[in-house]
């Protein structure tokens, strides 16, 4: 018996190297919160074989039905990251196979110079070229800093009744003549999108540094609809103003992007008076995240938030999903709730039937195929995800 032990142990150990462990922390943490969320039926969609296996962080952005009609899981976008570049594919379900097939807008690489931001929402590529890549309902693509080529194709399915990303040449973000934003001599540092209760448009917000006036910054807001940038909305100030007390006088190259949010308090909530701006960025010198808020052009405060911010929600609360953990803060930076997200990726907030929902994408890869679940939870119930 003792003589057989080494051989038996070798065989057992060899077997162990072949058998996978039925566990993945990211999936388990995602499941913990997903079990408390809702899922439209059917929302499990499968991407046909042939995806870029060298890419990672696959996210499915379903198309949005108009006027608060919810999601259409038969089409949308699949975004992924490869070598610090975002790849975006427009996809729709093939009726015969039932799988999502890429069409129209093919794997257009979008350079992302800041590895701290995984989400593809707004970053500058060079002065004067504001960029907002936003895949949930609209997309406005980037200016390639190397070639100078502009990726601003119109992508959509005219036969479908869903909103689809558009970026017509006449609505380029840098078209100062049409939109008066941004000024040619500015650097956009941050952008965000918030949902409008009516569901007819979203609102995009930008923070840009005025290159000609060091330390002066611009805050601008525009409507986004299926035709691209629309009317200017709730302008903070028509001219740039001094934020040098906390933002760099001249943004260093390392501060190429920050998270910027503007609470214009659409619901006129007395607790959210006055309107407040938020800026959060990764401070290379301290090796951590910092967050500032300001209610006017003069005073400001640093909030006790040391995690990346991903959204300003319709409730006025701030959401961080850094490192697979959801953190909910009030407008003063007080931590309200912490919950696991694992592999659930925050997509954005949408009003459906008049109620705000937060949508999350879950990517599952098995049988060499990409599968996506999309879960949602009412925004005012996010705190119930606490484990």
**How many chain residues touch other proteins (CB under 8 A)?**
37
Give 266: exposed, middle or buried? Use CB within 10 Å, 0-12, 13-18, 19+: middle
Question: Nearest to residue 167, comparing CAs of 204, 199, 194?
Answer: 204
Give phi and psi for 37, each to the nearest 5.
Answer: -105, 175
Among 3, 5, 159, 274, binds other proteins (CB under 8 A): 5
Cβ 45 to other proteins shortest distance, Å: 11
Cβ 127 to other proteins shortest distance, Å: 41
Among 356, 364, 378, 383, binds other proteins (CB under 8 A): 364
Residue 386 in the binding site for other proteins (CB under 8 A): no
Among 3, 6, 7, 17, binds other proteins (CB under 8 A): 17
Question: Nearest to residue 173, comparing CAs of 135, 136, 220?
Answer: 220
Stretch 26-45 residues interacting with other proteins (CB under 8 A): 27-32, 34-35, 44
Annotate 137-162 with three-state secondary structure: CCCECCECCCCCCECCCCCCCCCCCC
Nearer to other proteins, 123 or 372 (CB): 372
Distance, in Å, from the CA atom of 208 to the CA atom of 130, rounded to the nearest integer, reads 9
Among 3, 6, 7, 20, binds other proteins (CB under 8 A): 20
Nearer to other proteins, 33 or 171 (CB): 33
Question: Nearest to residue 59, comparing CAs of 88, 84, 81, 79?
Answer: 79
Where are the strands (E) in 8-109, listed by range? Answer: 38-39, 45-47, 56-64, 71-82, 85-93, 100-102
Among 8, 212, 298, 335, binds other proteins (CB under 8 A): 8
Only one of the segments 1-9, 90-98, 208-216, 226-234 lies at the binding site for other proteins (rule: CB under 8 A); that segment is 1-9
Residues engaged in binding other proteins (CB under 8 A) = 1-2, 5, 8-9, 12-13, 15-25, 27-32, 34-35, 44, 340, 362, 364-368, 371, 373, 387
């Amino acid at each position: 018996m003792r003589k057989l032990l080494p051989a038996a142990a070798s065989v057992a150990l060899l077997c162990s190297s072949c058998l996978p462990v039925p566990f993945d922390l990211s999936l388990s943490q995602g499941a913990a919160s997903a079990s408390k969320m809702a899922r439209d039926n059917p929302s499990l969609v499968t991407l046909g074989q042939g995806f870029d296996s060298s890419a990672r962080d696959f996210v499915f952005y379903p198309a949005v039905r108009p006027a608060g009609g919810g999601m259409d899981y038969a089409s949308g976008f699949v975004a992924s990251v490869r070598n610090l570049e975002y790849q975006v594919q427009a996809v729709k379900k093939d009726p015969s196979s039932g799988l999502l097939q890429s069409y129209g807008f093919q794997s257009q690489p979008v350079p992302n110079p800041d590895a701290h931001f995984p989400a593809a929402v707004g970053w500058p590529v060079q002065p004067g070229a504001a960029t907002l890549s936003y895949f949930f309902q609209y997309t406005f693509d980037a200016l390639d800093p190397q070639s100078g080529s502009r990726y601003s194709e119109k992508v959509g399915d005219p036969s479908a009744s869903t909103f689809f990303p558009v970026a017509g040449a006449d609505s380029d973000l840098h078209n100062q003549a049409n939109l008066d934003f941004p000024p040619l001599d500015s650097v956009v540092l941050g952008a965000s999108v918030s949902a409008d209760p009516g569901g007819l448009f979203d609102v995009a917000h930008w923070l840009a540094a005025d290159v000609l006036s060091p330390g002066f910054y611009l805050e601008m807001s525009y409507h986004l609809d299926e035709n691209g940038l629309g009317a200017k909305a709730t302008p903070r100030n028509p001219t740039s103003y001094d934020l040098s007390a906390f933002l760099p006088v001249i943004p260093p190259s390392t501060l190429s992007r920050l998270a910027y949010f503007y609470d214009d308090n659409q619901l006129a909530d007395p607790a959210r008076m006055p309107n407040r701006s938020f800026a959060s960025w990764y401070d290379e010198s301290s090796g951590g995240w910092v967050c500032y808020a300001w209610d006017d052009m003069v005073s400001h405060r640093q909030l006790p938030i040391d995690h990346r911010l991903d959204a300003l929600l319709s409730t006025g609360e701030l959401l961080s999903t850094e490192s697979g953990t959801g953190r909910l803060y009030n407008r003063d930076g007080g931590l309200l709730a912490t919950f696991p997200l694992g592999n659930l990726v925050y997509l954005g907030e949408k009003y459906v039937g008049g109620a705000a929902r937060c949508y999350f994408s879950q990517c599952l890869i098995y049988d060499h195929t990409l599968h996506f679940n999309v879960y949602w939870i009412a925004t005012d119930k996010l705190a119930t995800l606490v484990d």
